[in-house]
Amino acid sequence: MKIAVLSGKGGTGKTLVAVNLAAVAKNSVYADCDVEEPNGYLFFQPTEVTTQQVTVSIPSIDYNLCSGCRKCVDFCRFNALAYIAQKPAFFADLCHSCGGCTLLCPNHAISEKQNAVGKVIIGNSQNVTTITGIMDTGRASGVSVIRQVLRCLNQKNKPGIIGIIDCPPGSACIVMESIREADYCVLVAEPTIFGLHNLQMVIELVQLFNKPFGVVLNKCTADANPSAEYCHEKNMTILASIPFDKKLGQLVSDGQIAVHCDPLWQKLFISLLDKINKEAGYEAATDNQR
Amino acid sequence: MNIAIPVDETKTNVCASLGRAPYFMIINANTGEKTIIDNPAPAASGGAGIKAAQSVIDQNVKAILTPRCGMNAAEAFKAAGIALYQTVSESIDQSLAAFNKGDLVELQNIHPGFHGQGGK
């Protein structure tokens, strides 16, 4: 069972929800796919860590074999190759590692080499296995790092284990990649008009992927909540309402896992996980002894 | 030798963007003959600078008059031995006149580009 936690905008509470869901599950894997700024590990402080490099294939051109026929340049739809002074010039940041130029070259002048784009760090923290994807600074896209994180998650995923995918903010390719294999999506929303706008964007995304989903309303106050009103109006499942609470904010900024600190939050997240399990059609697997 | 200028929809003014300009004007410096070519890059989801640079490089251009240029395109022009000169006027005619008088300076301020803004 894999649950993706996402939101249209950053700072909505994805990591709060994802970390605490993983912490209340009996046996879980927390996969941080927010590879541009992963922060779940700050809460889990994992030990026994191992690191994997993430690489992508890029072309390596042997100019002694190149006849300057231009076939590779004309083929590259990502404009990663330019034909300059009768030779192909390569722009690594634009390459999507499709391998087309290597296959196409009639002179076998192009081979593939590995280019490091990031790393994946796997560790343990009590009942939680943590997988953290980190994109190298200056890289254009984190998709390949996210794929590696999800491959690691799939290796750990067994019946009875809850996989929690902490997604990047927004609704672009890196989010699509993160939710691709999720069985259920949890959308975290803020009680503002801006928050609603971003919620609508991710609703459109998860519907496009035919993913079952429910909404967690975060930072709720006594004031009007446009995100809640929208969910009621559209008959969408509200999984939980988390209050705008100074003590919770304090716990988060201290790097604490809220469910380990206060029975109130423990109760809220156990009930949230139960509800997700029920919605997704799985048996409850929360650890009530915690 | 040919000179290239990115031009906007009016085909009479210099375009503020190089990579995503709709057209390029190619000027034959010897005869003064002007031709307008389509820039194939404006709709590219990524790598517009390279694609635009390629279309200019293929025109046997030796100098480009432009208000700005991104990093990738600048790298391609450098490899092709094409010089970049910064325009100060929106008018193509004034820009050409200034270039011919030697008043235009080489473009120094290469911007890092707008990569990733459309998602990848």
Find the helix or strand (DSSP H, E) in which B65 lies. strand B61-66
B113 belongs to a structural domain: no
**Average pLDDT of adjacent 10-residue blocks, chain A of 290 residues:** 94 97 97 97 97 96 97 95 95 91 97 96 97 92 95 93 96 94 96 96 97 97 96 96 97 97 97 95 50
Residue B85 lies in a domain: yes
* pLDDT 10s digits, B28-65: 989 999 999 999 998 888 889 999 999 999 999 999 99
Give yes or no for B113 touching A (CB within 8 A): no
User: Does some domain include residue B118?
Assistant: no
CA pair distance A252, A257, nearest whole angstrom = 7
Q: Is residue B119 part of a domain?
A: no
User: Is A167 part of a structural domain of the chain?
Assistant: yes
Same domain, A45 and A73: no
CA distance A272 to A227: 18
Q: Both A41 and A166 in a single domain?
A: yes
Look up the domain containing B71 and give its range. 2-101
In this structure, is residue A40 part of a structural domain?
yes
CB proximity B81 to A under 8 Å:
yes
Determine, yes or no, domain membership for A121: no
Backbone φ, ψ for residue A246 (5° rounding): -65, -35
Q: Is residue B39 part of a domain?
A: yes
**Residues from chain B contacting residue A141 (CB–CB below 8 Å):** 116, 120
> Quick one: A45 and A159 in the same domain?
yes
In a domain, B114, yes or no: no
How many domains is chain B built from?
1
| Residue-range definition of the domain harbouring residue A71 | 63-108
Closest Cβ–Cβ partner in A78, A82, A94 for B53: A82
Neighbour order of strands in the sheet with B23-28 = B34-38, B23-28, B2-7, B61-66, B83-86
CATH of the domain at B86: 3.30.420.130
Rounded to whole angstroms, the Cα distance separating A97 from A144 reads 10
Question: What is the model's pLDDT at position B111?
Answer: 83
Residue of B20, B39, B51 best to disrupt the A interface, most CBs of A under 10 A: B51
Q: How confident is the model at residue B119 (pLDDT cuts 50, 70, 90)?
A: very low
Give a three-class secondary structure readout of chain A.
CEEEEECCCCCCCHHHHHHHHHHHECCEEEEECCCCCCCHHHHHCCEEEEEEEEEEEEEEECCCCCCCCCHHHHHCCCCCEEEECCEEEECHHHCCCCCHHHHHCCCCCEEEEEEEEEEEEEEEECCEEEEEEEECCCCCCCHHHHHHHHHHHHHHCCCCCEEEEECCCCCCHHHHHHHCCCCEEEEEECCCHHHHHHHHHHHHHHHHCCCCEEEEEEEECCCCCHHHHHHHHCCCCEEEEEECCHHHHHHHHCCCCHHHHCHHHHHHHHHHHHHHHHHHCCCCCECCCC
When divided into structural domains, chain A yields a total of: 2
Does the pLDDT value for residue B110 go beyond 90? no
Whole-angstrom distance, CA of residue A14 vs CA of residue A30? 12
Mean pLDDT of chain B: 91
Query: How far B37 CA lies from chain A's nearest CA (Å)?
Result: 18
**Are residues A190 and A133 located together in one domain of the fold?**
yes
| Structure-token pair, residue A160 | 């009875």
Confidence tier at B115 by pLDDT (50, 70, 90): low
Q: What backbone torsions phi and psi does residue A184 show, to the nearest 5 degrees?
A: -150, 145
- B75 contact A CB<8A: yes
In a shared domain, residues A72 and A186: no
Residue of A nearest to B49 (CA): A79
Asked if the structure places residue A119 within a domain, the reply is: no
Whether residue A122 is contained in a domain is answered as: no
Is A286 part of any domain? no
Residue A73 and residue A161 in one domain: no
- Work out whether strand A47-61 and strand A184-189 pair parallel, antiparallel, or are unpaired: unpaired
The whole-angstrom separation of Cα A232 and Cα B85 is 59
What would the pLDDT profile of B58-95 be if each residue is shown by its tens digit?
999 999 999 999 999 999 999 999 999 999 999 999 99
Residues A70 and A204 grouped into a single domain: no
